[in-house]
Structure 1
Amino acid sequence: MKCLRIFSTSDGESHFDEVDLPTSPVAVHPDATPFEVTASYPASRVRMTFIPAGMREVSWHTVPEPVLTVRLNGSVEYETSDGDKRFVSAGSYVLVEDTHGKGHLSRHSPEAQTVLWISLPNGLTLPEA
């Protein structure tokens, strides 16, 4: 399963990357057909955010901690400090890990949006067993 990622390098520049999350087939109950599921990642909190209609652009910013954003509706275009841009539509998720440096720019679609922010202390890295 692929996940778009925004991260910062030691020089403070932000970039895009793609994380490949391994999955395995899991049946959620005895009669269910198995479907692909990732491992469980520790999360410290979940926040539901409402972005009002008309909030078009959020200036350059970083995140205080690694956050997996899950866009329930609307869309956004992210831009990293290296000039790369990515369009993210409803139903998509992005791991945002640029906790230092120049940050990223967010350009929101004109309609109101709901986005889940899931704080992941270790990003998408699993703790060692």
Structure 2
Amino acid sequence: MNYAKIYSDPNGVSHFRDVEVSFSPSDFASKTNPVLKSVFLSSDAGFVSVPSGWDSGWHNSPGDGFAILLQGSVEIEVGDGQVRRFSSGEVWRSTDVAGRGHVSRVVSEEDALIYMTIITNPENKT
């Protein structure tokens, strides 16, 4: 995966640079079903690539944070039995850092690509 970075050189002139994101295996969301995760750009934001057909099993969120689905379709089941399907461009926030958690499944034929950010100082609890 690539993204375009806009930066300024020492003379203050802005430029584009294409940045390639590399992924490595991680148990970020599931200890039994690893996903591919980029190095997070800070301690709280990065990309996760999840293969088609992947099922996390019940797990807690790694922290209070947002997920933006860039590619694919993901189905999330919560403890009360409700299931929602998310498609490219949709956003959800996970705050279930304790308790039973939720189940995430990639239901598209293509892998899911997700940008995730963990909120380090959440002011808005909604």
Q: Deviations for 1:52-100, whole angstroms, at most 9, x for unmatched residues?
A: 2332x11000012112000001011111111111111110010001000
Q: Is the 8 A contact 2:50 2:113 kept in 1?
A: yes
- Give aligned-pair identity as a percent: 30
Residue ranges of structure 2 left out of the alignment (5+ in a row): 1-41
1:87 is matched with 85
Return the offset for 1:107. Answer: 1.7
Does the CA-based 8 Å contact 2:52-2:106 persist in structure 1?
Answer: no
* Ranges of 4+ aligned residues in structure 1 off by more than 3 Å: none
In structure 1, the residue corresponding to 2:124 is in which secondary structure? coil
Q: 1:117 to 1:82 in 2, by over 3 A?
A: same
In structure 1, what is the equivalent of residue 118 of structure 2? 119
The equivalent residue for 1:49 is 48
Structure 1 gaps, min length 5: 1-42
Q: Which residue of 55, 60, 63 maps to 2:61?
A: 63
Report how far residue 125 of structure 1 moved.
1.5
TM-score (norm 2): 0.59
Are the counterparts in 2 of residues 47 and 117 from structure 1 also a CA contact under 8 Å?
Answer: yes
Question: What is the TM-score of this pair, normalised by structure 1?
Answer: 0.58
Cα distance in structure 2, aligned partners of 1:122 and 1:101: 21
Give me the CA root mean square deviation.
2.0
Q: How much does 1:47 deviate?
A: 1.1
The equivalent of 2:15 in structure 1 is: none
CA distance in 2, matches of 1:76, 1:121: 25
User: Which stretch has the larger CA shift, 93-102 or 111-120?
Assistant: 111-120
Q: What is the aligned length?
A: 83
